[in-house]
Amino acid sequence: MQDTIKALPEIPSKRYFTIGEVSGLCQVKPHVLRYWEQEFPTLSPSKRRGNRRYYQKKDILLIREIRSLLYEQGFTISGAKQKISGEKPQENKSSSPKKNLISSLINELEQLHQELASKTMSLPDKF
């Protein structure tokens, strides 16, 4: 993450930043920032006059971390959420039963294939 922050522009010392300024500082388009606000509950800039967003330095640092996780480290959105919130990654519980079912189906098909192969060997040639 430190390399990413060095490659990005320095954050000026001011209290609030507009979405356009943050977009430039983090090299992320404004519509992506708005999407990330929906996906990452910890990213919540204050909103004022006409629903305008005002980000603080802590928000910019979080955005840079999210950017690094997604664009440079190859995390998915859910993986980045877990990393930021400090949760341990959870195994997809629905995939285990599916994997077991697929594996048992493959075994059954292999057995059927072997049975059919042995039966065709015992058939007379004139069939």
Dist. CA 11–CA 26, nearest whole Å: 9
CATH architecture observed for domain 2-85:
Orthogonal Bundle (1.10)
Least Cα distance to 84 among 93, 76, 94 occurs for 76
**Structural domain boundaries of the chain?**
2-85, 91-127
Per-residue pLDDT tens for 32-43? 999 999 999 999
Dist. CA 24–CA 17, nearest whole Å: 11
Q: What is the largest CA-CA distance in the chain?
A: 91
Per-residue pLDDT tens for 11-65? 999 999 999 999 999 999 999 999 999 999 999 999 988 889 999 999 999 999 9
Per-residue pLDDT tens for 79-105? 999 999 887 655 555 556 777 778 878
Phi-psi bin for 50: left (phi > 0), alpha (psi -120 to 50), beta?
A: left
Residue 89 has what pLDDT? 56
Least Cα distance to 69 among 57, 91, 85, 53 occurs for 85
